[in-house]
């Protein structure tokens, strides 16, 4: 068997194992969904009236829904990958991983199975949170099929990048609590992005941080694709982030996994 | 599915070194295991047994300066995947996926060995049946008892028909019945021509199963040979007299001068080969000297003695008592 088809076959086997885990024990994924959904409802129904004035031009709550939903969708990714960090850290403590390491299988398949499984779970989470967004009144204004496709592609790529980072965090953490903590920035970063208020409304010294951290360009790109706002060079910045984070996370995870286990 | 090329030695390792920081875990050990035999690495906790298994099974690498390690004829440093294809490993801590069922664990192994769906199902069903797990096959593995987990663990190891199997303390934590079951399973493995590398801290287990035994202590092989060869390394057995009355014990110690004393437990050990004639003469002599012990046991040399003699340990673990006959 060639090494490519070996990699595909073994990764597929590992993916099925991870999906089986997720199906049997869905509580972790569902718990993580709680944060973005609560924030969505909180910001729309409690702060929405006040925050919408920040958007300018006599915006009201329905405008704020349109503004906040793309941010919440990307935040959902950040929350879901915390689960990835925790579950991969837990998995590494299992004896079965030692068994995999002594088997003549494609070595990367263990991680690839986790990453693909996690991306699929994130997509489902995004769909669920997106459905809630639609239920409370979010509508895309004029997105063409190509723009929908691009939006989907953006979400998948962004998820993949954050997932590889989360895998590295999970592998480098001694236990599940530490893994959860080290992945917390992925939940907190959207808070200091353009997800809830425009970057212009932030203090001047903070604006560059908020503007160029990974979440803001991705959120602005998604808004542009779904709502027809100005994307500018946010698309390229997002792409650069996605490539950089994926490559970094992949290499980091790989070297951590290839270390001698304790 | 995987076959080991015909070689004289299934395992041949020279000068294994492994240190974690300042602590030398393995300090230059040589291991040779002829194909189709059971080899037992015997040693107390912390002797380095698990480290040796981890190195030989490709899980961790030996330190620089170690000699060549060949498993199934393949050099572990240059062809780790060929080694992995030839071996099966059951670690000390169960290597089963607790979140999925026993059957799913078996099918996972079948998939990773690239068996066809039908073949995988058949192999899984056969092995589950052979290890008496058919009834529990649809329950999550984390609900299994310790003995069932070990059986599932070994069943998973056997899916690819490995020619060389590493069993790291396969009976630690099992009750006596489960331990005897496991022994039966291990004996069955070798009858098929499989080579077994077994680590254990139970001397009795090495004695029961192994063709050759190496005693590992403090990262070094203290002795190696068959169980009988090892037993010959130490002086013969003894008769043990135990007293409950300190006064009787004191008077006995003053009479029986060649005995080894243990004042804490009020016991005396008199050297003896355990033959009927010598036993009778000891009894006659005790009678004539008016010594009456509350308990008399005859102790023939066993691997415990070898072990304690070689490792210089003075601790007497519980299991020593079991072997006193």
Q: Which of residues 96-115 of B touch A (CB under 8 A)?
A: 96-100, 104, 108, 111-114
Compute the mean pLDDT over every residue in chain A, rounded to the nearest whole number. Answer: 91
Specify whether B165 is located in the same domain as B223.
yes
The answer to whether the beta carbons of residues A73 and A222 sit under 8 Å apart is: yes
Same-domain pairing of B174 and B89: yes
Task: Count how many domains chain B has.
Answer: 2
Structure tokens that stand for B54 in this block: 């981890």
Q: Are residues B148 and B268 in the same domain?
A: no
Whether A72 and A39 have beta carbons less than 8 Å apart is answered as yes
Instruction: Tell me, yes or no, whether B85 and B165 share the same domain.
Output: yes
In terms of average pLDDT, the best of A213-227, B89-103, B237-251 is A213-227
Please check whether residue B4 touches A, CB under 8 A. no
Q: B255 φ, ψ to 5°?
A: -90, -45
Q: Do A20 and B100 touch (CB under 8 A)?
A: yes
Whether residue B34 lies inside any domain: the answer is yes
**B286 has pLDDT over 90:** no
* pLDDT grade for B312, boundaries at 50, 70 and 90: low
Note the pLDDT of residue A201: 85
A261: confidence class by pLDDT, cuts 50, 70, 90: confident
Taking CB atoms and an 8 Å cutoff, what residues of chain B touch A21? 99-100
Q: Residue A11: how many CB atoms within 10 A of its CB?
A: 21
Show the DSSP H helices in B193-302 as ranges.
Answer: 203-209, 227-232, 246-255, 276-288
Q: Are residues B225 and B245 in the same domain?
A: no
In a domain, B114, yes or no: no
A201-226 pLDDT, tens digit per residue, is: 889 999 999 999 999 999 999 999 99
Quick check: is B3 in a domain? Answer: no
Beta bridge pairs of residue B29: B16
> Which is it for strands B212-217 and B220-225: parallel, antiparallel or unpaired?
antiparallel
Q: Which of A21, A98, A260 is nearest residue B91 as measured by Cβ atoms?
A: A98
Backbone Cα Rg of chain A: 19
The span from the CA of A153 to the CA of B120, in Å, is 37
- Of B214, B165, B174, nearest to B193 by C-alpha is B165
B214 assigned to some structural domain: yes
Tell me which of B179 and A56 has the higher pLDDT: B179
Q: Cβ–Cβ of B99/A24 closer than 8 Å?
A: yes
Asked whether residue B117 is domain-assigned, the answer is no
Parallel, antiparallel or unpaired: strands B9-20 and B23-34:
antiparallel
Q: Is the pLDDT reported for residue B303 higher than 80?
A: no
pLDDT band at B320, cuts 50/70/90?
very low
Do residues B223 and B170 share a domain? yes
What's the number of domains chain A is made of? 1
Residues B172, B90 share a domain? yes
Assess if residue B124 is contained within a domain.
no
Please state which of the ranges A170-184, B24-38, B259-273 shows the lowest mean pLDDT.
Answer: B259-273
Kindly give, in sequence order, each residue whose CB lies less than 8 Å from that of residue A65, ignoring residues fewer than 6 positions away. Answer: A44, A48, A133, A136, A137, A138
Same domain, B29 and B91: yes
Is the pLDDT score of A161 beyond 70?
Answer: yes
Cβ–Cβ below 8 Å for A20 and B104? yes
**Mean per-residue pLDDT for A91-116?**
92
Q: Which of A5-19, A135-149, B297-311 bottoms out in mean pLDDT, i.e. has the lowest? A: B297-311
Instruction: For residue A146, count CB atoms less than 10 angstroms from its CB and return exposed for 0-12, middle for 13-18, buried for 19 or more.
Output: exposed
Select the highest-mean-pLDDT range: A14-18, A46-50, B317-321: A14-18
Say how far apart CA B325 and CA B323 lie, in whole Å: 6
User: Which of residues B232, B247, B276 is at a domain's end?
Assistant: B232
Please report which confidence band the pLDDT of residue B236 belongs to, taking 50, 70 and 90 as the band edges. low
Q: How many CB atoms lie within 10 A of CB B34?
A: 15
Determine which of A186-195, A217-226, B103-112 has the lowest per-residue pLDDT on average: A186-195
SS3 of residue B83 by DSSP? helix
Residue pair B166/B57 in contact (Cβ under 8 Å)? The answer is yes
Per the structure, the complete domain to which residue A85 belongs is given by 3-258
Q: Is residue B127 part of a domain?
A: no
In a domain, B119, yes or no: no
**Residue A41's pLDDT band (boundaries 50, 70, 90)?**
very high
pLDDT band (50, 70, 90) for residue B231: confident
Residue ranges making up the domain that contains B266: 238-300
pLDDT, residue A50, reads: 83
ipTM: 0.86
Shared domain for B157 and B273, answered yes or no, is no
Q: Return contacts of B303-306, CB within 8 angstroms, 24+ apart.
A: B303/B42, B303/B203, B303/B204, B303/B206, B303/B207, B303/B213, B303/B227, B303/B230, B303/B231, B304/B203, B305/B231, B305/B234, B305/B237, B306/B203, B306/B215, B306/B223, B306/B230, B306/B231, B306/B233, B306/B234
The mean pLDDT of B259-274, rounded to a whole number, is: 82
Do residues B212 and B259 both lie within one domain?
no
B256 and B282, same domain (yes or no): yes
The reply to whether residue A98 touches residue B60, judged by beta carbons under 8 angstroms, is: no
Same domain, B247 and B194: no
């Amino acid at each position: 068997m060639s090494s490519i088809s070996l990699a595909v076959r073994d990764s597929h086997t590992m993916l099925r194992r991870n999906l089986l885990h997720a199906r049997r024990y869905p509580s972790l994924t569902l718990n993580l969904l709680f944060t973005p959904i609560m924030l969505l409802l909180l910001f729309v129904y409690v702060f929405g009236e006040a925050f919408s004035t920040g958007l300018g031009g006599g915006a009201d709550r329905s405008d704020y829904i349109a503004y906040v939903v793309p941010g919440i969708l990307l935040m959902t990714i950040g929350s879901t990958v915390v689960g990835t960090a925790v579950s991969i850290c837990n998995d590494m403590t299992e004896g079965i991983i030692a068994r995999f390491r002594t088997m003549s299988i494609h070595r990367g398949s263990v991680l690839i199975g986790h990453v693909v499984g996690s991306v699929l779970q994130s997509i489902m989470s995004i769909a669920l949170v997106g459905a809630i967004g639609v239920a409370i009144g979010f509508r895309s204004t004029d997105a063409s099929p190509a723009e929908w496709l691009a939006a989907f592609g953006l979400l998948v790529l962004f998820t993949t990048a954050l997932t590889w980072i989360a895998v590295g965090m999970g592998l480098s953490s001694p236990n599940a609590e530490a893994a959860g903590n080290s992945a917390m920035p992925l939940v907190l970063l959207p808070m200091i992005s353009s997800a809830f208020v425009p970057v212009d409304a932030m203090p001047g010294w903070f604006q560059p941080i908020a503007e160029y951290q990974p979440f803001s360009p991705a959120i602005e790109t998604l808004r542009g694709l779904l709502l027809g706002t100005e994307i500018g060079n946010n698309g390229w910045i997002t792409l650069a982030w996605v490539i950089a984070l994926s490559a970094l996370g992949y290499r980091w995870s790989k070297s951590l996994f290839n270390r001698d286990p304790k | 599915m995987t076959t080991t090329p015909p070689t004289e030695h299934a395992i041949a390792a020279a000068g294994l070194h492994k240190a974690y920081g300042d602590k030398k875990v393995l300090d230059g050990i040589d291991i040779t295991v002829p194909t189709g035999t059971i080899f037992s690495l015997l040693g107390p906790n912390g002797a380095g047994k698990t480290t040796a298994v981890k190195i030989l099974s490709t899980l961790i690498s030996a330190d620089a300066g170690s000699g060549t390690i060949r498993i199934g004829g393949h050099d572990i440093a240059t062809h780790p995947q060929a080694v992995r294809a030839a071996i099966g490993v059951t670690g000390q801590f169960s290597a089963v996926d607790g979140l999925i069922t026993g059957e799913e664990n078996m099918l996972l192994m079948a998939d990773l060995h690239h068996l066809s769906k039908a073949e995988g199902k058949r192999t899984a069903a056969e092995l589950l049946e052979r290890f008496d797990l058919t009834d529990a096959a649809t329950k999550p593995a984390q609900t299994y008892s310790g003995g069932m987990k070990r059986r599932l663990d070994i069943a998973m190891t056997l899916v690819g028909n490995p020619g060389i199997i590493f069993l790291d303390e396969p009976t630690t934590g099992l009750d006596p019945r489960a331990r005897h079951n496991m022994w039966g399973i291990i004996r069955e493995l070798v009858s098929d021509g499989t080579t077994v590398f077994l680590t254990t801290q139970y001397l009795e287990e090495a004695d029961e199963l192994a063709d050759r035994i190496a005693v590992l202590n403090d990262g070094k092989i203290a002795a190696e040979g068959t169980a009988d060869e090892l037993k010959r390394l130490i002086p013969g057995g003894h008769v043990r007299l135990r007293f409950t009355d300190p006064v009787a014990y004191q008077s006995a110690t003053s009479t029986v001068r060649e005995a080894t004393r243990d004042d804490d437990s009020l016991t005396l050990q008199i050297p003896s080969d355990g033959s009927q004639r010598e036993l009778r003469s000891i009894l006659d002599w005790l009678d004539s000297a008016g010594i009456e012990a509350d308990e008399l046991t005859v102790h023939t040399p066993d691997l415990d003695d070898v072990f304690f003699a070689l490792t210089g340990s003075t601790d007497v673990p519980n299991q020593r008592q079991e072997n006193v006959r």
